[in-house]
Amino acid sequence: MLEIQGLTVTYGPVEAVSGLSFHVACGTVATLIGPNGAGKTTTLNALSGVVRPSRGKILFDGRDITRMSAHRRVSAGIVQVPEGRQVLAGMSVRENLELGGYRRPRCEVLRDMERMEERFPILRDRRYAPAGSLSGGEQQMLAIARGLMAKPKVLLLDEPSLGLAPKLVTAIFNIVRELRDEGQTILLVEQNARQALVISSYGYVMESGSLVLEGPADELRSDQKLAQTYLGQTI
């Protein structure tokens, strides 16, 4: 579904991502893990079109989209749920959901809003509340639901468990697992390496903008050297 070839992203003189190559298979969850500052979020931003790579190529379903604008990528099916939720705090839950489907026919948007409220009952209960009044976990559910409203072929999830209580972390990972089981292709960036690898098919480890290790998720999960060297913890 996604193939990245020699991706390089620079911020002025700083090379945040350097020669990155990897792929995401259709209907799977692939995870990017690694320490803070490794270039994981920059990679997602390059895939969604928020930043432009200085070198390399991005192929989506066999099509070169390296120079495609961000809004056209959304229409094509690449949708990012950003780090920190970034819901529109002054707008209602329902308005945030509507915004997710702004490029789709109104009748489809209304239908899928009902589906999102079935999947996330708390959003149905709070549909007219300002998004900023929701808890962190509720805002994360809204952010994911808003992304799904765009009918993504590939969903880019950036740190969905960041800053959440353990119970809510479990709930968020259960949602990702359900989406995977429904056939949704997902590229996940996540500091919670153990849980991320449990629900993933394949994992990639980044350090200082480069890929340093990759493999099936179950193999990476049992690699203690990986945990100690790159994550500073036992996974």
- The pLDDT tens digits for 18-34 are 999 999 999 999 999 98
Q: How confident is the model at residue 228 (pLDDT cuts 50, 70, 90)?
A: low
Q: Over the stretch 107-158, which tens digit does the pLDDT of each residue have? A: 899 999 999 999 999 999 999 999 999 998 899 999 999 999 999 999 999 9
What CATH topology corresponds to 2-231? Rossmann fold (3.40.50)
d(CA 168, CA 40): 23
CA atoms within 13 A on the CB side of 178: 10
pLDDT (0 to 100) of residue 85: 79
Tokens of 55: 């070198």
CB 155 within 8 A of CB 81: yes
The pTM for the full model equals 0.92
CB neighbour list of residue 198: distance below 8 Å, 6 or more residues apart: 173, 217, 221
pLDDT-derived band at 234 (thresholds 50, 70, 90) equals: very low
Q: Where are the beta strands (DSSP E) in 36-184?
A: 55-60, 63-64, 78-81, 154-158
- Furthest C-alpha separation in the chain: 52
185-189 and 29-33 as β-strands: parallel, antiparallel, unpaired?
Answer: parallel
What residues does each domain of the chain span?
2-231
- Residue 228: both structure tokens together: 């100690």
